[in-house]
A = this chain, B = another copy of it.
């Protein structure tokens, strides 16, 4: 069995998760190199996972001729340049979302990808690889829902980790860029059409500091698509019950709900609080399988010499929409995607 030799950059929470998955859970892959600006962290993880090559310089890693592919889990601002560089050294590239921190940056990434048409480029919209989301997509594509009328999608961080959320929030790009991009991707995926008009609103309901960052602690967007399909997105930073990502697709023939109760497992508890299910408190646990599946798909694309369903253009389109939502939120105006 051919194994894809991967160099991975970024060893934050998600970067480490990807490193562990590649090293131990994905039979199509080998974690051959890791890179981070923190040399000590690189050494620690390399030792733990038995990784042969260690880097603190990304370009040096790209030069390693043993590597087939680069996985980018660095801070968002580095994505476009690292994508371009890795491609230029002949590597296949997987990059975590977002494609870039603004549309101009996305276009840089687009050009790089276009310049290396024989190399695989894949963007990490992991929700598309969650079994429940995949099942929903298959049902919609088989026509079980009839015509899609409305997509509703929520992304809420749990209150249980609000301290770390607050620390990170101001560097996140704001809720529209950091959270809603996933929901925007789902809306486009499920409806197969593009938004025409967007209106973003929100407020600071508990954490006034978001005002200083031109953001809200809770925000919402409604979008009207070219073909009349509608969508509603909600993002919040402190859901009482847990890490809540749920999506509903209403069609003319039926409705699907994905994870409207984000229960951790098959346990139902009956006690003085009633009958209850406990919920995910952590996005890494919620998306554990999806994070593995997306890298498996990336490797399979390389092995089978085919391209992933998610393209670089999806990355740009989502960023463009998210920025328009943010602009709508900031100006208080409903905005056309055309202007």
Interface residues, chain A, with chain B CB atoms under 8 Å away: 1, 23-25, 27, 50, 131-132, 135-136, 139, 144, 146-147, 149-150, 152, 159, 197, 199, 201-206, 216, 218, 220, 222, 224, 227-230, 232, 234, 236, 238-242, 244, 250, 252-279, 332-334
Contact = CB atoms under 8 A, between A and B. Distances in A.
24 contacts: A24-B27, A144-B271, A149-B218, A150-B234, A152-B152, A159-B272, A201-B222, A203-B227, A203-B230, A205-B228, A205-B252, A206-B252, A220-B222, A230-B234, A240-B254, A241-B254, A241-B271, A241-B274, A254-B270, A256-B270, A257-B270, A261-B275, A273-B273, A273-B274
A24 B23 CA distance: 12
Contacts of A1: 50
B24 A265 contact: no
A24 B27 CA distance: 5
A241 B272 contact: yes
B206 A234 contact: no
Kindly report how many copies of this chain are found in the complex they form together.
4
A139 B271 CA distance: 12
Which of A224, A230, A275 has the largest count of B CB atoms less than 10 A from its CB? A275
Which of A132, A222, A244, A256 has the largest count of B CB atoms less than 10 A from its CB? A222
B279 A275 contact: yes
A279 B255 CA distance: 13
B255 A131 contact: no
Contact of A147 (B205, B234, B236, B271): B205
Contacts of A147: 205-206
Contacts of A135: 264-265, 267
Contacts of A146: 205-206
A250 B202 CA distance: 13
Nearest to A224: B201
Given A24-B27, A146-B206, A274-B277, A267 B136 contact: yes
A62 B227 CA distance: 52
A272 B240 contact: yes
Contacts of A263: 266, 274-275
A205 B270 contact: no
Contacts of A272: 159, 240-241, 254
A144 to B, nearest CB: 8
